[in-house]
Amino acid sequence: MKYAFAKRVRHLQSSAVRDILKVVGQGDVISFAGGLPDDELFPMQGIEEAFSRVFAAGKGSALQYAETEGFRPLRETIIERMKNKKGITNYSSDEVLVTTGSQQAIDLFSRVMLGPGDVILTEDPTYLAALQVFNSYEANIIAVDSDDDGMLPDDLELKMKQYKPKTVYVVPTFSNPAGRVWSLERRKALIRLAHKYNVVVFEDDPYGELQFSPDEKYTPLAALDDGSHVLYTSTFSKIAVPALRTGWIVGPYQVIRMMSQAKQANDLHTNSLSQQALYQLCTNFDLDGHIQSLISVYRSRMEAMVDCLQKADLPELSFVKPKGGMFLWVELSERLNTTILLNEAVKNGVAYVPGEPFYAGLAKKNTMRLNFTHSSPERIEKGINALVDVLSNNVEQQEHFFV
Amino acid sequence: MKYAFAKRVRHLQSSAVRDILKVVGQGDVISFAGGLPDDELFPMQGIEEAFSRVFAAGKGSALQYAETEGFRPLRETIIERMKNKKGITNYSSDEVLVTTGSQQAIDLFSRVMLGPGDVILTEDPTYLAALQVFNSYEANIIAVDSDDDGMLPDDLELKMKQYKPKTVYVVPTFSNPAGRVWSLERRKALIRLAHKYNVVVFEDDPYGELQFSPDEKYTPLAALDDGSHVLYTSTFSKIAVPALRTGWIVGPYQVIRMMSQAKQANDLHTNSLSQQALYQLCTNFDLDGHIQSLISVYRSRMEAMVDCLQKADLPELSFVKPKGGMFLWVELSERLNTTILLNEAVKNGVAYVPGEPFYAGLAKKNTMRLNFTHSSPERIEKGINALVDVLSNNVEQQEHFFV
């Protein structure tokens, strides 16, 4: 039988990241592909104790259907944490929606906001699975010119005037995939323009707490706004564990309320046993200490990767050293197409994500995203060497060919 | 600021069921409203042990990101259970998608199938939160004439010809809200027509295992089909616990694959710690024994509710005694509007769900859905008496008025 799918799934393809993950996960390939935290660093004992506390309370209601908006004490804890860690003070626990990972926050926001043809402005490159979501709602994605400090205000204003976008999607702190951090000026410019042109900003901040230099301060857009124009989403996946699929979003009550109704239709509510356990984890476990130890390990892995790449001395290879997060974004000689080279790299024992699918506009095919959090420094060295082998062989071949 | 929501959320309203639940949950009202299992009957110890087993294995990978399709051993267990319990043999574990509750299965199916204006045929009344989903994808919902044995084949064929529907949504076993069970003939007729007109059938079976008479056999549509025209969804919410938000769907590989891609965009994957725990529960706990004890308690509560209603001897009250599931559907004098009466009922200490929002077509406003699984027989008696008070007062007043 031929199944007549809806038009909106035309664009729906399995994400390159996850398809690679599937194949790579099975063999002995060193993978810099997935956006994975390190399993070994998960707070297993803390999580186990958190669940024990919930079970010890012995209440059947812990396992019952629950409110769509989320477990109230967890929402209060989230508000408190955002206040203390991020300076985000505009929201009360009524303006938090707990989501099935922050991926669902992106999806629900798009569901209530984006009709076919509606314009959304994004950085370029940007988070691949967000592009997937926007495409699935048949939105019109327009890339805004950016540099290492964030979107260029002139181009942003031009495109706000020209396209009358519904929203702007940004990952301003340790972006995925580019590892960028927006400057304060650029952040303020975005907020100013959002107010001027009445555009909602969607701030995706999964990595913000994985900050390598303790002295710098990266103020979230949500802390620069007055509570009317920014939706801010984050997650427990990077600072605690991904398996529990628990994220959250805060923003103007009207939007959160609409998203909550969409969530009711989507999955009724987020796993509430996990929400209760995460509340226990935040309350009875040194989550901040845990995050500090993550940062210290991840920073040293990032340094190891940077060292290897620098030693490799590959012509035309460039990257910006990440100030946090999980990714290193590499630009190569324009003669190299990373999508084509992936197969050869995997055969040589190393995987990455080609840069192409991260672009909303014209893709730079000579780019790749490398994850540095999931491998030990030893494996990083081995993997980067294997990668550099493939790259330099191909640059030479190409040179040869072009001569 | 005025937020410009997408057109598709026009229909999106908080479900009556859940709004009532919220208010009722706070006071001392006896609630027959929510579709809740009884907290006291949850297999707390089984669930706790299941989580302990997962933690005892001590693998960090248990807490890592996981495959969108679901935890493979759980998918295999689901296939095995469906084979043994339901005679559903057409599917392998590649054709199962684990979902964040079966609500998400309804949502993902609609997302990949239903474009604006696409026709979906339903029973009438039918599951309220499914109607919400179909509306949110701007589908055109058409009700098929039904009686206590299921959809009338003549009307079904007429509407398949006339509307060329994308799909037919049915809850053939212990339907929500009407508590109906389709006859085998009607089931076969639906499958025959689905093949004749090339229409996909979506079979929603959350309650099938809560069967009160052990001797009867209700064959799922998925067991009558050849694997090409039926999608079948069920859940752990009613036989284990709702808090873990774990359901599943099986069906033709092409559709499941497309839904899995939609799920990737929606929430990446279902909580995988819970999936592993449910696998342990299925493997190391007497789930079937547990279900038998649920059935015995729920059946006696249903009997208690039926007795009370029969004793009340309210003129023009009618219902069909449920053969399973969680609900009793009541039809009253046409002079009574249950939506209007709800407030008075709640003031008198009892809540129900008015029948109106369950209708896709013309609503019978003199209907209500009563849940019998969440209250003890004593509270059922007290609650039904309070309800009958309100109803008989109002029937009398109306009579008085009409004289």
A161-175, B104-118, B337-351: range with lowest mean pLDDT:
B337-351
Q: Tell me how far apart the alpha carbons of residues B70 and B68 are, in angstroms, rounded to a whole number.
A: 6
Nearest to B64 among A5, A243, A262 (CB): A243
Q: Which residues in chain A come in under a pLDDT of 70?
A: 13-23, 25-26, 398-403
Helix or strand or coil: residue A180? coil
B16 touches chain A (CB under 8 A): no
Q: What would the pLDDT profile of A307-366 be if each residue is shown by its tens digit?
A: 999 999 888 999 999 999 999 999 999 999 999 899 899 999 999 999 999 999 999 999
Across chain B, mean pLDDT equals: 94
Whole-number pLDDT of residue A403: 46
Task: Determine how β-strand A96-99 pairs with β-strand A247-250.
Answer: antiparallel
Task: Give which of B49, B120, B267 to mutate to test A binding, by max A Cβ within 10 Å.
Answer: B267
Predicted confidence (pLDDT) at residue B397 exceeds the cutoff of 60:
yes
Whole-number pLDDT of residue A21: 57
A112 touches chain B (CB under 8 A): yes
Q: What are the angstrom distances between the C-alpha of A302 and each of A181, A240, A290?
A: 16, 20, 18
Q: Tell me how far apart the alpha carbons of residues B106 and B204 are, in angstroms, rounded to a whole number.
A: 8
Helix or strand or coil: residue A137? coil
**A185 CB-near residues (< 8 Å, 6+ apart):** A149
A117 touches chain B (CB under 8 A): no
Contact between A85 and A77 (Cβ < 8 Å): no
Position B386: which residue type? A
Task: Give which of B271, B276, B374 to mutate to test A binding, by max A Cβ within 10 Å.
Answer: B271
Q: Tell me how far apart the alpha carbons of residues A375 and A385 are, in angstroms, rounded to a whole number.
A: 14
ipTM (interface pTM): 0.95
With a CB-CB cutoff of 8 Å, which residues 364-403 of chain B face chain A? none
As a whole-number percent, the residues of chain B with pLDDT over 90 amount to: 87
Nearest to A1 among B8, B229, B265 (CB): B229
Contact between A143 and A361 (Cβ < 8 Å): yes
Residue identified by tokens 């009317």 is: A228
Q: Do A243 and B133 touch (CB under 8 A)?
A: no
CA nearest to A108 within chain B = B266
Nearest to B264 among A18, A47, A243 (CB): A18
Predicted confidence (pLDDT) at residue B8 exceeds the cutoff of 90:
no
Q: B154 pLDDT band (50/70/90 cuts)?
A: very high
Q: Tell me how far apart the alpha carbons of residues A16 and A357 are, in angstroms, rounded to a whole number.
A: 7
Q: Tell me how far apart the alpha carbons of residues B75 and A310 are, in angstroms, rounded to a whole number.
A: 46
Distance to chain A for B289, nearest Cα, Å: 19
Q: Do A265 and B129 touch (CB under 8 A)?
A: yes
Task: Give which of B176, B225, B266 to mutate to test A binding, by max A Cβ within 10 Å.
Answer: B266
CA nearest to B167 within chain A = A4
Q: Tell me how far apart the alpha carbons of residues A354 and A337 are, in angstroms, rounded to a whole number.
A: 8
Helix or strand or coil: residue B203? strand
Q: Tell me how far apart the alpha carbons of residues B3 and A79 are, in angstroms, rounded to a whole number.
A: 23
CA nearest to A133 within chain B = B265
Distance to chain B for A401, nearest Cα, Å: 40
Domains annotated for chain B, with CATH where assigned, are 7-42+289-402 (3.90.1150.10), 45-284 (3.40.640.10)
Question: For chains A and B, what is the number of CB pairs under 8 angstroms?
Answer: 242
Q: Tell me how far apart the alpha carbons of residues B353 and B356 are, in angstroms, rounded to a whole number.
A: 9
B57 touches chain A (CB under 8 A): no
Whole-number pLDDT of residue B403: 46
Mean pLDDT of B63-81: 96
Q: Taking CB atoms and an 8 Å cutoff, what residues of chain A touch B41? A: 60
Helix or strand or coil: residue A19? helix
Q: Tell me how far apart the alpha carbons of residues A280 and A303 are, in angstroms, rounded to a whole number.
A: 34
Whole-number pLDDT of residue A59: 86
**A335 CB-near residues (< 8 Å, 6+ apart):** A366, A395, A398, A399, A402
Whole-number pLDDT of residue B59: 86
Q: Taking CB atoms and an 8 Å cutoff, what residues of chain B touch A35? A: 65
Q: What are the angstrom distances between the C-alpha of B287 and each of A313, B30, B250?
A: 61, 29, 21
Q: What would the pLDDT profile of A82-112 be if each residue is shown by its tens digit?
A: 999 999 999 999 999 999 999 999 999 999 9
Tokens, residue A325: 């997060």
DSSP per position, B310-369: HHHT-TT-EEPPPSBSSEEEEE--TT--HHHHHHHHHHTTEE-EESGGG-SSS--TTEEE
CA nearest to A17 within chain B = B264
Task: Give which of A7, A13, A268, A278 to mutate to test B binding, by max B Cβ within 10 Å.
Answer: A268
Whole-number pLDDT of residue B95: 98
Distance to chain A for B129, nearest Cα, Å: 6
Task: Determine how β-strand A167-170 pairs with β-strand A200-204.
Answer: parallel
Whole-number pLDDT of residue A313: 83
3-state helix, strand, coil in chain A (%, to 5): 50, 15, 40
Q: Do B14 and A264 touch (CB under 8 A)?
A: yes
**A52 CB-near residues (< 8 Å, 6+ apart):** none
Nearest to A241 among B8, B44, B63 (CB): B63
Q: What would the pLDDT profile of A297-320 be if each residue is shown by its tens digit?
A: 999 999 999 999 999 988 899 999
Whole-number pLDDT of residue A9: 87
Burial class (CB in 10 A: 0-12, 13-18, 19+), B137: buried
Q: Do A100 and B103 touch (CB under 8 A)?
A: no
Angle at B330 between CA B329 and CA B333, to 5 degrees: 155
Q: Tell me how far apart the alpha carbons of residues A170 and A167 are, in angstroms, rounded to a whole number.
A: 10
Q: Tell me how far apart the alpha carbons of residues B169 and B164 are, in angstroms, rounded to a whole number.
A: 14
Nearest to B12 among A2, A262, A274 (CB): A262
Predicted confidence (pLDDT) at residue B398 exceeds the cutoff of 70:
no
Task: Give which of A15, A94, A111 to mutate to test B binding, by max B Cβ within 10 Å.
Answer: A111
